[in-house]
């Protein structure tokens, strides 16, 4: 008997599509020929990227009805919406970060009720215990290290809670959930000023500003010896799709294994900008996050034969160009008014 012709595939829902990672993910899904419903609480004019080929909707996913409308008729969900930012934002918006569990809860319930095939959740390296990140001698963080739990206050607890909720929706309701723990994602089209920006974009902005004004100096949060890994957006999107499409349900790191201190990051950006080393003013009272955090990629290599591979110098080059363009455009528009 001839099989019935397949109808068009239902769309994939991307939440937080107006944000940094969501925008890049929508672009990649569209490039693969997927229909996409893109949802964000911000008006589309404020989205980092906006693609007319997607069905773009403004919805506040803290509300149950909005979550149901977003999930209605989609095949799978890439859930990235969250109220978040860099270390300065996280330390002063703990309640707001925890309110994001409302979004996660309503969306999981909506996905279950709409019989969505699969639910991907964007978690974070902030779920790892603070005690495992106190010195540069600390080992890279492997997935099993998340317990016993002592995550970042506010944001880390919210992500860890929602990771577990994903697991229990899978076990109790048969909803196929997938979870990735992102480690410091950077690249063009991310927040670069205004308080939500992360270290790579903030440092690109400060170096660009020093270059454009000839100030010769830069202010840095902390003593510059904090250790981090930074993961390029292309690796983040590739890892997201691998994890979402793969068979493994428990959380997996998406993080570069290339470790740098903040001072080394500044040196890289100065070299990319082609400027003389700036005078560094280290602000020791400013927020600086954990002492050392990096990603153990054993599990992602074993499971997917893959790990992030973009060299920091290469990824920063395009990020710096993009941030410098934003700084220049801002300066031009300020000088006109």
Catalytic residues, which ones?
155
- Of 55-63, 132-140, 272-280, 307-315, the segment contacting ligand NAD by CB under 6 A is 55-63
Does residue 55 touch ligand NAD according to CB under 6 A?
Answer: no
CB of 199 to ligand NAD, least distance (A): 10
Residue list 201-260, contact with ligand NAD (CB under 6 A)? none
How many CA atoms does the CB half-sphere of 166 hold within 13 Å? Answer: 27
Does residue 19 touch ligand NAD according to CB under 6 A?
Answer: yes
Q: Rounded CA gap, 221 and 282, in Å?
A: 6
Number of Cβ within a 10 Å radius of residue 79? 28
Question: Among 11, 13, 22, 156, which residue sits at the site for ligand NAD (rule: CB under 6 A)?
Answer: 22
Pick the closer one to ligand NAD by CB: 61 or 312: 61
Pick the closer one to ligand NAD by CB: 124 or 226: 124
Q: Rounded CA gap, 185 and 233, in Å?
A: 6
Residue list 126-185, contact with ligand NAD (CB under 6 A)? 182, 184-185
Bridge partners, residue 123, by sequence = 181
Number of Cβ within a 10 Å radius of residue 41? 19
Question: Among 41, 138, 199, 266, which residue sits at the site for ligand NAD (rule: CB under 6 A)?
Answer: 41
At 48, list the tokens. Answer: 């980092």
Q: How many residues does the chain have?
A: 337
Bridge partners, residue 217, by sequence = 279
Residue nearest to ligand NAD (CB): 19
* CB 196, CB 89: distance < 8 Å: yes
Question: Among 83, 163, 235, 270, which residue sits at the site for ligand NAD (rule: CB under 6 A)?
Answer: 83
How many CA atoms does the CB half-sphere of 276 hold within 13 Å? Answer: 5
Helix (H/G/I), strand (E/B), else coil: 229: strand
Residue list 105-124, contact with ligand NAD (CB under 6 A)? 122, 124
Question: Among 13, 21, 199, 237, which residue sits at the site for ligand NAD (rule: CB under 6 A)?
Answer: 21
Instruction: Give me Rg for the CA atoms of the chain.
Output: 20
Task: Please give the size of the binding site for ligand NAD, defined by CB under 6 A.
Answer: 26
Question: Among 11, 13, 18, 162, which residue sits at the site for ligand NAD (rule: CB under 6 A)?
Answer: 18
Bridge partners, residue 246, by sequence = none
Pick the closer one to ligand NAD by CB: 185 or 204: 185
How many CA atoms does the CB half-sphere of 200 hold within 13 Å? Answer: 28
Does residue 81 touch ligand NAD according to CB under 6 A?
Answer: yes
Pick the closer one to ligand NAD by CB: 103 or 290: 103
- Of 54-62, 169-177, 200-208, 328-336, the segment contacting ligand NAD by CB under 6 A is 54-62
Q: Rounded CA gap, 280 and 298, in Å?
A: 36
- Of 35-43, 203-211, 259-267, 287-295, the segment contacting ligand NAD by CB under 6 A is 35-43
**DSSP tag of 8:** P
Pick the closer one to ligand NAD by CB: 56 or 211: 56
Q: Rounded CA gap, 315 and 337, in Å?
A: 34
Question: Among 198, 205, 293, 324, which residue sits at the site for ligand NAD (rule: CB under 6 A)?
Answer: 198
* CB 233, CB 171: distance < 8 Å: no
Of 175, 150, 8, nearest to 76 (Cα)?
175
Question: Among 36, 82, 141, 202, which residue sits at the site for ligand NAD (rule: CB under 6 A)?
Answer: 82
Site map 260..299 versus ligand NAD, x via CB under 6 A: ----------------------------------------
Helix (H/G/I), strand (E/B), else coil: 292: strand
Residues that bind ligand NAD (CB under 6 A): 15-16, 18-22, 40-42, 60-62, 80-84, 103, 122, 124, 182, 184-185, 191, 198
């Amino acid at each position: 008997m001839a099989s019935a012709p397949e109808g068009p595939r239902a769309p994939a829902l991307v939440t937080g599509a107006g944000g940094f990672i969501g925008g890049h993910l929508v672009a990649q899904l569209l490039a693969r020929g997927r229909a996409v419903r893109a949802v964000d609480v911000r008006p589309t004019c404020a989205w980092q990227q906006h693609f007319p080929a997607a069905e773009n909707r403004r919805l506040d996913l803290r509300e149950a009805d909005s979550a149901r409308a977003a999930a209605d008729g989609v095949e799978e969900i890439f859930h990235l919406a969250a109220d978040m930012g860099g270390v300065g934002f996280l330390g002063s918006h703990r309640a707001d970060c925890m309110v994001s569990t409302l979004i996660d809860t309503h969306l999981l319930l909506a996905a279950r009720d709409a019989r969505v095939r699969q639910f991907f959740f964007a978690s974070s390296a902030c779920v790892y215990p603070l005690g495992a990140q106190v010195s540069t001698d600390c080992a890279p963080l492997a997935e099993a290290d998340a317990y016993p739990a002592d995550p970042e206050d506010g944001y880390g607890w919210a992500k860890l809670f929602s990771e577990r909720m994903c697991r229990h929706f899978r076990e109790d309701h048969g909803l196929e959930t997938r979870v990735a723990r992102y480690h410091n994602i950077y690249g063009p089209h991310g927040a670069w000023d205004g308080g939500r920006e992360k270290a790579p974009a903030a440092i690109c902005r400060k170096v660009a500003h020093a270059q454009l004004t000839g100030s010769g100096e830069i202010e840095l949060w902390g003593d510059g010896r904090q250790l981090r890994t930074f993961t390029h957006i292309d690796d983040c999107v590739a890892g997201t799709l691998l994890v979402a499409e793969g068979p493994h349900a428990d959380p997996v790191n998406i993080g570069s294994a290339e470790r740098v201190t903040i001072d080394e990051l500044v040196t890289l950006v100065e070299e990319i900008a082609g400027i003389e080393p700036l005078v560094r003013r280290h602000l020791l009272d400013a927020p600086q996050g954990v002492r050392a955090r990096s990603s153990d990629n054993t599990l992602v290599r074993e499971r997917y034969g893959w790990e992030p591979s973009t060299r920091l110098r290469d990824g920063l080059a395009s990020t710096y160009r993009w941030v410098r363009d934003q700084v220049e455009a801002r300066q031009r528009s300020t000088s006109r008014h």
